[in-house]
Structure 1
């Protein structure tokens, strides 16, 4: 059965939900298609042993514009909490707080490493590194000592590619963290004590990060959006006056405009007319890192006092271990057990991808022992597998992305946005801002203002965020 709408949104992640909601508020008829049986994408929450947990470590950045926060508070009220970050990172054989505290840095790191950091800081202006790879940019900004101890191992673990095989874009998207370590290096050189290098605050919903996307979905439905779950899109046909979107179960929706948050390689595969062979080949070279999430239920109350632990150590594939109940203040959370979430970036062809839950839990236990973290009194374990999480900014990816993006921009009545739709690794608030900008570019007559959207994308590219 066919349905005709003003706007079809493909994908119910944060960007898709926000765009559908905003468009419906403006009076447009909107259908949102999502292949999963729930909304939220990677930002969704789930229940493990009676505790709401996230798919990895998610926060709403404190840099979120106040007007956007006002909209979200309107949906969640006081459940949107301002929290103080309480994270740690393993540097060498020591744990350091994030945000960095200079008393910890100077007290806990070995004198030999502190001397190297201070020397790198003092000679930074004398170095003439080539800014042609992630490794060269980061070495130039924080020095060889911190690169070899923190950033090199983190890069290879997270993206599966050594730093010298990654684009400089990856370094530019880590500007805030790089600047914190750069300041740390200068402070070590000047022996400044008890200095905290950032405020480290963030917003987080009382009932898990998924509460944010669920609130967006509820608001969208209230505004008139038709959300169809378990509706995987298998064809997008573009005609002169409309776009026809069909799903695997046989439904067909036609509309005047489509917002796609699908991964660009997927959109290239299902679009008709099909892109050129060159664009198809370029799309196939845009790769993503998968993520394996291991949830371990710990008996005996909270496992730690920290919300997350980052682990550059190359001896373990675990990148981060978080404890969801520490991200929020929720009296409904139980006090007799907790849940840990271990993040393992990998390829779907890696051996770890095929391990059973108990083997994964044993791997996490080994990680705890290697890094000096407390042991877990395990009473349950379960896992989740996400196939496309981190865009891999390998050297030369820009040429392929430019080719595919140029094709996508030329598709009549189709607009790509969001993390997957633009092949970017952005924050949640940035995805929401882009959704707002996309809806703002729809004229009252339903036509899409490509000029306004291009300006918005350029602004986003320059600043790492959008505007309103």
Structure 2
């Protein structure tokens, strides 16, 4: 059991609201700390945006499909719950970008699409775009202040073509957002810090690349998948929670969250109304999306609720298609990204059977492909029925790759309000939320709306919330919360 002896003896009752990966990770960590835990999930299933499914008999992910392995939280949790032997890297990580009428190799020498030299993005940018990149070194400093939109700053330094054809599709793959609104401080923190100390953006990128090259080579792959799908991770965590004595209730929406303590002696007591039941707890971890969290916190933390209610979300859909391998042919690589400026409907495609060896091994006669549709502010396309989304996906796949065969099966998975947006000032909003919540002993928040939308970042957020929730005992005395494996609160993605 990890943690200090001061917290390992904790036998308080803690309620976790939300059964996504953040809530389940929080429950798992709380049980390690000796707490008694009840998880309340409003929907009929666990896992949130992680969802394993099948198509034409093939096991696939219908949500996030990979884990950033250079952060320890997700792969570490997977190993803790018995999935270590099912972790594996992509069979290929060679991706393309579909732009200016052709599939072009994804450039290597960049930081989230921002090049260190013009030559690094030759083949993707036009001659005019390359010349604009080269002018960066002669420009005066562009002040960025406390935060700035990624697209705004990058366009000012190296031109809009870099933003439109590289930064936008790469950021869109993480946030389904608009690069001209997304916070550089929250979404690309290493670039933000480098830009604050360099006049030239390309020089800042080269400095980042130089530090990376000089550092000891990290062991292992950058990304990992899970045999059977990343969507099996929350289910394995839930099994572990139950095996340790934790209670998990699905179909149990929380309708009220109130403090019952009125003195310092019982200030940490909480009353939770859920699914017709009234429960009492010493601490509560709120691990639901920002709008739901706002509703729960409105009575006791109205200022935090107001901040959370202002968090915007993007909706998108994943279209999964299965083809007979004998009838389908695709270019080499793991898939491609699509810049919005090119006017296509899909924003990306993953050749799942190529990317994940376990899918190909289990289904040698099938070729599974995924496309994604929808970005922040795009509502019209998602208003169409599933058949239309399949049709436009097939059209764009045919235009990009020549794939003209008819699929043997299709599946559309809609993620309405699935991805929180991190606009300029997001870091300050999160800090204000936590400041307000910290005034209420035994209450903590976590999830993708705070410190990063990727799976490892969400798990790190959950571990931090456990520290916060257990930071005060019912008498209001600060507790020891030393944790040698707690991850950083940053904006790293999956």
Query: Structure 2 length as normaliser, TM-score?
Result: 0.75
Deviations 1:131-162 (A, max 9, x none): 34322322366554422422246668986875
Q: Residue 324 in 1 paired to residue 340 in 2?
A: no
Q: Which residue of 1 aligns with 2:130?
A: 117
CA separation of 1:171 and 1:270: change in aligned 2, threshold 3 A:
closer
Distance 2:471 2:487 in 1: 20
**Aligned 1:193-232 pairs, distance under 5 A:** 201-232=222-253
Task: Assess, with a 3 A threshold, how the Cα gap between structure 1 residues 439 and 100 changes in structure 2: closer, same or farther.
Answer: same
Please state whether the residue corresponding to 2:388 is helix, strand or coil.
helix
Corresponding residue SS for 2:155: helix
The change in CA–CA distance for 1:79 and 1:130 in structure 2 (over 3 A counts) is same
Matched residue SS, 1:377: coil
Distance in 2, matches of 1:268 and 1:434, equals 17
Asked if 1:126 is matched to 2:133, the reply is no
- Equivalent residue in structure 1 for 2:461, among 415, 424, 434: 434
Give the C-alpha shift of residue 204 in structure 1: 1.1
Match status 1:146 vs 2:162:
yes
Residue equivalent to 1:340 = 369
Mean Cα displacement is larger for which, 314-323 or 87-96?
87-96
The secondary structure found in structure 2 opposite 1:123 is helix
Which structure 2 segments of 5+ residues have no match? Answer: 1-10, 111-117, 196-200, 207-217
Q: Report the CA distance shift for 1:372/1:465 in structure 2 as closer, same or farther (over 3 A).
A: closer
Distance 1:71 1:349, change over 3 A: closer
Q: How far is 1:32 from its partner?
A: 0.9
| C-alpha distance in structure 2 between counterparts of 1:216 and 1:411, whole Å | 28
- Partner of residue 288, structure 2: 262
Matches of 2:204 and 2:428, distance apart in 1:
35
Partner SS for 2:372: strand
**What is aligned with 1:73?**
79
Give how far 1:82 is off.
Answer: 3.0
Counterpart-to-counterpart distance in 1, 2:447 and 2:242: 20
Q: Write out aligned runs for 1:266-345 (5 A).
A: 266-271=292-297, 273-276=299-302, 280-300=305-325, 304=330, 305-314=332-341, 315-330=343-358, 333-345=362-374
Q: Give the match for residue 357 of structure 1.
A: 386
Partner of 1:195: none
Q: Tell me, in whole angstroms, the C-alpha distance in 2 between the residues paired with 1:344 and 1:454.
A: 43
Give the secondary-structure state (helix, strand or coil) at the position aligned to 1:319. Answer: strand
Paired residues, number? 442
Structure 1 residue 414 and structure 2 residue 453: aligned?
Answer: no
Decide whether the 8 Å contact of 2:155 with 2:163 is kept in 1: yes
Cα offsets for 1:290-336 (capped at 9, x unmatched): 12222222223676443332111431232221233334332762122
Contact 1:358 1:381 in 2 (8 A): no
Q: Contact 2:271–2:280 at 8 Å: present in 1 too? A: yes
Q: State the alpha-carbon separation in 1 of the partners of residues 329 and 149 from structure 2.
A: 39
Asked if 1:136 corresponds to 2:152, the answer is: yes
Instruction: Give CA-to-partner distance per residue, 1:26-49, whole Å, 9 cap, x none.
Output: 321111111232221112212222
Which one is further off, 434-443 or 357-366? 434-443
Q: Is 1:392–2:409 an aligned residue pair?
A: no
